[in-house]
Amino acid sequence: MEASRNGLTDYGLFLAALGIVWFHTQAPGYRIAYIALPFFLVFLSMPSSASLGTQAKRLLVPFLTWSLVFAMLSTALSLKNHDPPFDWWRWHMLLSGTWVHLWFLPFAFVATTLSPWFRHPLASLGAAILFATLVVLNGTPEVKPFGLWAFGVIPVLTGIAYFSWGWRLAVTTLGLSMLILFLGAPSPDNIVILVGTGLALVFLSHHLPATAVSDWCARLSLWIYLSHPLVIIVGQSLRITYIELGLFSLAFSVIFAQVIETLVQATRKGRLEF
C-alpha cells in the first residue's frame, strides 16, 4: 500500500457506497443518504499519472460491461412482463448507461480528463462561480444525463481546488458557488451538494494510516456502487420493503461485491500464472 494513502478516505468511500445503496432502496432517510453522491464525486479530481487510455479502460470498460449486464436484465424483465423486449431502450443511454446509476462512469471519465485544465486557482474557482451563475440564469439541463452531470460539476471543481491548492481554496470554491445557487436557484439538491462535498473535504483534511481493512473498503466501494441494483431487485422480488429492504440491500451488496472482487482477483492471478 502507498505510504501516502489516507485510510480515512477509504473508509469514507465505503460508507458513501453504502449510502448510495440506501438511497436507491428509498428506505426512510434516503434523502439524507444522497449526500454520498457528491462525496464520491469530489474524489474524481484526485491527481493521477494514468494515461488517457488507462483512464478509459478503468472507467469506460466497466461502463460498457455493466450496461450490457443491465441491458440483459431490462430485456428479461420486459419479457417477463410481456412487454416488447427493447421497450426500455432510450437513446440517452448511450451516455447514461442502461441503469440509472451508470451515468457516473462516463461523467468520471470526462471529469478526470478535463481536470488538469482547471488546476490554476482562478480556473477552478472561476469555473465554479460561472457554472453556478449559468444554472441560476438558465436552470439545470433537462436532457439526460446532463442534469445529473450538472449535479457533479461543483463537487468536482471543489475537488480540483483541494488537490491543487488545499482546503482554503476548496472551501472558498464551494462556499461562493453554493451561495449563488442558494440565493438564485433554491433546491433541495443544493443542500445535498453542500453537505456531501463538505464532508469529503473534512475526510480529506484528516489522515489515518492505510491498513489492509481500509484497502479492502476502497476496493469494494466501486463494486458495491456498480452491482447494488441487482441486490435491490432481488430484495424487491422477495417482497422485502421499507427499512428491511435497506438493511437487506446493505448486507448483501457487500457480500455480492466481495464475490465479484474475489472472482476478479482470481481471474487476474490466473492470467499472471498463464
Helix (H/G/I), strand (E/B), else coil: 6: strand
d(CA 74, CA 241): 21
On whether both 198 and 170 belong to a single domain, the answer is yes
On whether both 192 and 233 belong to a single domain, the answer is no
The per-residue pLDDT for 188 is: 93
d(CA 42, CA 117): 16
Residues of the chain predicted below pLDDT 50: 1-3, 274
On whether both 61 and 117 belong to a single domain, the answer is yes
Burial class (CB in 10 A: 0-12, 13-18, 19+), 185: middle
**Could you say which of 206, 236, 261 is where a domain stops?**
206
Task: Count how many domains the chain has.
Answer: 2
Helix (H/G/I), strand (E/B), else coil: 186: coil
Q: How many CA atoms lie within 13 A of 157 on its CB side?
A: 29
The per-residue pLDDT for 49 is: 82
d(CA 59, CA 74): 22
On whether both 82 and 166 belong to a single domain, the answer is yes
Domain coverage including residue 50: 45-206
The per-residue pLDDT for 5 is: 83
Secondary structure (DSSP) of 41-109:
HHGGGS-----HHHHHHHHHHHHHHHHHHHHHHHHHHHHHTT--TTTT--TTHHHH-SSGGGGHHHHHH
Q: Within a domain: residue 40?
A: no
Q: Within a domain: residue 39?
A: no
The per-residue pLDDT for 195 is: 98
**Could you say which of 206, 223, 238 is where a domain stops?**
206
On whether both 163 and 128 belong to a single domain, the answer is yes
Q: Within a domain: residue 234?
A: yes
On whether both 100 and 233 belong to a single domain, the answer is no
The per-residue pLDDT for 266 is: 86
d(CA 117, CA 151): 20
Q: Within a domain: residue 95?
A: yes
Phi, psi of 6 (to 5 degrees): -95, 110
On whether both 173 and 261 belong to a single domain, the answer is no
Q: Within a domain: residue 5?
A: yes
